[in-house]
Each structure stands twice: as C-alpha cells, then as structure tokens.
Chain A
Amino acid sequence: AQRVTQPEKLLSVFKGAPVELKCNYSYSGSPELFWYVQYSRQRLQLLLRHISRESIKGFTADLNKGETSFHLKKPFAQEEDSAMYYCALSGRGGGADGLTFGKGTHLIIQP
C-alpha cells in the first residue's frame, strides 16, 4: 500500500527564514512525487513534481529514495507563501491512477 506522511500539521516561520516542509512516503515501486498547494480561497494546484527537477516560486524538492523523502524547501520565505501544502504520490505516471495525498502542512509566514 502506498502512503504519504507529512509529520507537521502546522509550520510557522518568519519572513526571510528558510522553510522546509517534510514529506515521507511508502511505496514498493518507483513512485512519482508531487507537491500541491492551496492558497487561501483558491483551488488546490500543482506546485512542482520531482521529474521536472525545477524550481517554482523559489521552492525545490529532491526525491531521496534512500530516505523515501521528498521534502519541500525554500531558502527565504515570503509572506505570500502562506498556504496549505500537500505532498502526493502516484504509483504510475503522474496521477493516472489517482494521487495519494498526505494530510497537509499549514505553512504560516510571519512578517
């Protein structure tokens, strides 16, 4: 069975401080990992996916198969980063079988 764990329900950091949102997964094969974000009063939307290896809004995430982790990082937090962040896993290519989501981390950036 596949599982995604986000150990922090709430994370509060000051503006300009580094941010790391933790995500660990359990899956027997080669998963595809994603981060989705939900800003206040907006839809859940894709932030980034590990196969793209890109930086979006200053965020990066590296898939560590040894530690089965996909932590989301940003060196300098901005107030507009405040949102709910969900880590998600797909067993087969990008969600064609539906994503398994973690329970989410509420990130609050304090001024």
Chain B
Amino acid sequence: DAGVIQSPRHEVTEMGQEVTLRCKPISGHDYLFWYRQTMMRGLELLIYFNNNVPIDDSGMPEDRFSAKMPNASFSTLKIQPSEPRDSAVYFCASSFGTRELFFGEGSRLTVL
C-alpha cells in the first residue's frame, strides 16, 4: 500500500478562490482525519469520519470550510472562499479502529 495519498502537494491561490484538497486513505481503514498545521497553532484536528460518516467537525474553523467522504477511499476538504489566514499545511490521516494514525505527506496551501 502506498499509504495515505494527498493531493495537491502544493497549492497557491488568490484570496476568494475555492480550494479543494483531496485524500485517499489506506485501504481497509475505517477512520479518516483532517488536520491543519500552522506555526502559531501547531496541529489542529479539523474533522474526522468513521465509516464515511462525519463524527466530529467541531474543529472546523468556520462555514467556509467543508469536508466530505463520499466513499471509503476518498475524502475532500474544501475552502470557499479562501483567505490568507487559511495558509497552512493540511494533513489527512487514517486509522483502523483505535490503532495508530497514518498520515499523508500533507498539502501546503498558500493563499495570496
């Protein structure tokens, strides 16, 4: 298995544009997590899914952020409209039950 796959690896966009980040979890994993990493706040949990169902989205900063998991092998994190303060590295991670989290390489977002 190639591990958790995220795309794009880097994204540069202008304020107001829509951004979509994608994640393919490890096959067979039933949990999927989205984290955001910034210098100021470190790693923050945004939302997580269990069996494709969103369980806790209390970490989503505001309504501009949305996440979906239409099936067990794909999830998206969308920001619309994007703002400069959204610039960060966004990580996707998956796990099987209560075992360790496996992280993707991250998507570095820069909003100008």
Contact = CB atoms under 8 A, between A and B. Distances in A.
B103 A94 contact: no
B42 A43 contact: no
Contacts of A45: 102-103
A102 B50 CA distance: 24
Interface residues of B, number: 28
Chain A contact surface mostly: loop
Interface stretch (B17-25, B74-82, B90-98): B90-98
A94 B99 contact: yes
Interface residues of A, number: 21
A77 B99 CA distance: 28
A50 to B, nearest CB: 13
A74 interface: no
B104 A102 contact: no
